[in-house]
Amino acid sequence: MAHLASERRSLWRLPALLVLLSLVPAAAGIARLLQLSGGVAVTAENARFFAHPLPVVVHILSVIPFSVLGAFQLVPRLTRSRPRWHRIAGRVLAPLGLLAAGTGIWMAQFYPWPAGEGEALYVMRLLFGSAMFVSIVQALGAVRRRDFVSHGAWMIRAYAVGLGAGTQVLTHLPWFILFGRPGEVPRAVLMGAGWLINVVIAECAIARMRSSARTRSSVPRSTSIPALPPLHR
């Protein structure tokens, strides 16, 4: 019993950590929605959102469920044991991710830059937003080809970029504590570090996943576990 309890805790540890990582940007997004709902003065910092609220509203309402629901798609034991749930969640996640990436690109391109941001951060937002969008398109193509390993790899990449805001909270925190609000160059470095950390972790996870897939495919059929009989004749 103790062993089973330990396995269950291990199963839920990764999604719990990922959901926890997304809580701060999710709270900031909800606060932004409350601001836009009325009763808050328009300032230089938030004027761009009031001038064009639709992109930021769609971005927040798509990226929050993408971050939370996507966390549970990264648990292999969970997705293998509940394939129907995995497929249904994937059909929700893909459009959410495309909306989050597309609106992020739109905001980077058309919103005025706030104080403390410059060309470097603008380029990074376009780069990583495009990478997230393309990754999801590649993932959809892979699943249509029934290339499930590639599908999983591309979705991991997309999720890593989408969760960048959570890691950026961690990269910014030491700077805020030691030096206060970062200027243009430090902010670009700290933002880029958040995305880069996620991308590196994602590529390491993909490498392990592909290694595991190769190991399973190389097991001799005589030593493999027999397939279950079909449910429907």
Confidence (pLDDT) at 226: 42
In Å, how far are 55, 137, 156, 174, 210 from 207, measured between CA atoms? 35, 21, 11, 31, 5
If the chain, 233 residues long, is cut into consecutive pieces of 10 residues, what is the mean pLDDT of each piece? Answer: 54 87 94 89 89 96 96 82 88 96 97 92 97 98 94 96 96 95 95 97 92 69 41 37
Spatial contact of 44 and 97, defined as CB atoms under 8 Å apart: no
Q: Find all residues with CB under 8 Å of 114, minimum gap 6, and list them.
A: 44, 45, 48
Residue 206, SS3 per DSSP: helix
Neighbours of 85 (CB within 10 A): 13
Q: What global pTM score does this model have?
A: 0.86
Among 222, 155, 159, which Cα is nearest to 195's? Answer: 159
- pLDDT tens digit sequence for 130-139: 999 999 999 9
Asked whether the CA dihedral 155, 133, 110, 108 is positive or negative, the reply is positive
Total Cβ atoms within 10 A of residue 77: 10
The secondary structure of the chain in percent helix, strand, coil, rounded to multiples of 5, reads 80, 0, 20
